[in-house]
Amino acid sequence: MARYRNGRIPASQLVWFWALNQYGKRERFRATRATAARLTAFIDDVKTNEGVQLYITSGPNVYRDYGQQVGMRAKYAALGKPLQAAYPGTSSHGGEYRGRDSLAADIYNYDAIPWATFVKYAKKHGLITNFVTPTEYWHIGDPNPFSMPSTGGTGLKLSSRAEKQIASIFDAIFVGGTSMDDDGRSISQSLAEIRTLTSKPIQRDGKDIPVRQDNADTGTIVREIRTLTTTPIKRGDKEVPVRQDNADTGTLVREVLATVKAQKAAIEALAVAKGADPDAIAKAVEDGVKQAMKDVSFTVETD
Ligand SMILES: [Zn+2]
């Protein structure tokens, strides 16, 4: 049984991958992750070991969805050769062929190497040749489009999350796929966005500062703050941690405030008892305190 109906593989199962077309141009082709990986490895292997660059035929010539199969059939019918394209819903490019999983690709210059060599490399990468009638030599198939090719058999047992992460990395490097936890955006797209964001200058007091400079400055400030707040404070001959010093200062301020309040109340009570004007006495006390404290400057905030 095939996993999906012909031409109906869900988008979530498909990736775009880059390959060269017959014009020598890079083109994005659509396939399952596994088929993209097999085709890429196959083409790379032939290039490395035979010195021949194989091309994928430009157009929807790896995965071909139902609508594209309709279009292909119409195109060949108009050329008077309707049999050159499969009846819509039956193409081996559609993810299913004769009831089994199948994803085909058209290799434009399959004859650039001897046929036996072509077959040997295809087989090595899990691809089958000459499997449709009438014979189409350029047409190679992946009979396992939903299982990733073995990448060397490490024998490691991985969690499903680790497998997903590895698949994402594989996609990013080899087939330009999508990254996980990222709304299906491609990794290269995410990287491009990060690059754009970090290359925009930051506004600081009306001036544009490069992000890199801002990061450097922030780092310097953070390091300075860390140094300041971890360096003990000298108090007399003793070193006191900053935290302790802050706590002590708070206590001291509260004590001073309580003393001043109490003194003020006492003086006012005394003034009333002696028949004096409490406001005049309070003013005299205030002036005296101000005079005594004129060299001390600190602000005390009360609630
Ligand atoms: Zn084909």
Q: Which of 105-114, 166-175, 215-224, 264-273 has the highest mean pLDDT?
A: 105-114
CA of 272 to the centre of ligand 1 (A): 110
CA of 123 to the centre of ligand 1 (A): 17
Instruction: Give the pLDDT of residue 8.
Output: 96
65 domain residue, yes or no: yes
Residue 106 Ramachandran class (φ > 0 left, ψ -120 to 50 alpha, else beta): beta
Residue 154: pLDDT band (50, 70, 90) is very low
CA of 188 to the centre of ligand 1 (A): 30
Residue 274: pLDDT band (50, 70, 90) is low
103 domain residue, yes or no: yes
Domain range enclosing 284: 239-292
CA of 64 to the centre of ligand 1 (A): 9
Residue 141 maps to which CATH number?
A: 3.30.1380.10
* Higher pLDDT pick, 131 / 173: 131
Name beta bridge partners: 100. Answer: 97
Q: Which of 118, 133, 149 is the last residue of a domain?
A: 149
For residues 143 and 22, membership in a common domain is answered with yes
Residue 201: pLDDT band (50, 70, 90) is confident
CA of 106 to the centre of ligand 1 (A): 5
Residue 232 confidence (pLDDT) above 70: yes
CA of 60 to the centre of ligand 1 (A): 10
For residues 140 and 244, membership in a common domain is answered with no
- Enumerate residues 6+ apart whose C-beta is below 8 A from 229: 242
64 domain residue, yes or no: yes
* Higher pLDDT pick, 200 / 36: 36
Distance CA 122, CA 45 (A): 10
Q: Which of 88-102, 123-137, 238-252 has the lowest mean pLDDT?
A: 238-252
65 secondary structure, DSSP code: -
* Higher pLDDT pick, 115 / 272: 115
Q: Which of 149, 168, 184 is the last residue of a domain?
A: 149
Residue 71: pLDDT band (50, 70, 90) is very high
Q: What is the tally of structural domains in the chain?
A: 2
For residues 20 and 129, membership in a common domain is answered with yes
Residue 152 confidence (pLDDT) above 50: no
CA of 184 to the centre of ligand 1 (A): 28
For residues 26 and 142, membership in a common domain is answered with yes
CA of 25 to the centre of ligand 1 (A): 20
CA dihedral 21, 22, 25, 26 (to 10 degrees): 10
CA of 124 to the centre of ligand 1 (A): 20
For residues 143 and 17, membership in a common domain is answered with yes
Residue 56 confidence (pLDDT) above 90: yes
Residue 258: pLDDT band (50, 70, 90) is confident
Q: Which of 134, 149, 164 is the last residue of a domain?
A: 149
260 domain residue, yes or no: yes
- Quickly count: other Cβ atoms within 10 Å of residue 88's Cβ: 19
62 domain residue, yes or no: yes
Q: Which of 109-118, 180-189, 240-249 has the highest mean pLDDT?
A: 109-118
Instruction: Give the pLDDT of residue 65.
Output: 96
For residues 145 and 244, membership in a common domain is answered with no
- At 45, list the tokens: 């292997």
81 domain residue, yes or no: yes
Residue 109 confidence (pLDDT) above 70: yes
298 domain residue, yes or no: no
174 domain residue, yes or no: no
CA of 172 to the centre of ligand 1 (A): 27
Residue 19: pLDDT band (50, 70, 90) is very high
For residues 18 and 130, membership in a common domain is answered with yes
CA of 93 to the centre of ligand 1 (A): 6
For residues 24 and 131, membership in a common domain is answered with yes
Q: Which of 15-19, 82-86, 178-182, 211-215 has the highest mean pLDDT?
A: 15-19
CA of 171 to the centre of ligand 1 (A): 24
| DSSP line for 142-177 | ES-TTSPPPSS-------HHHHHHHHHHHIIIII--
Residue 301 confidence (pLDDT) above 60: no
For residues 266 and 145, membership in a common domain is answered with no
Kindly state the average pLDDT of the residues 173-197: 59
CA of 174 to the centre of ligand 1 (A): 23
Q: How far is CA 241 from CA 109, 231, 244, in A?
A: 77, 7, 5
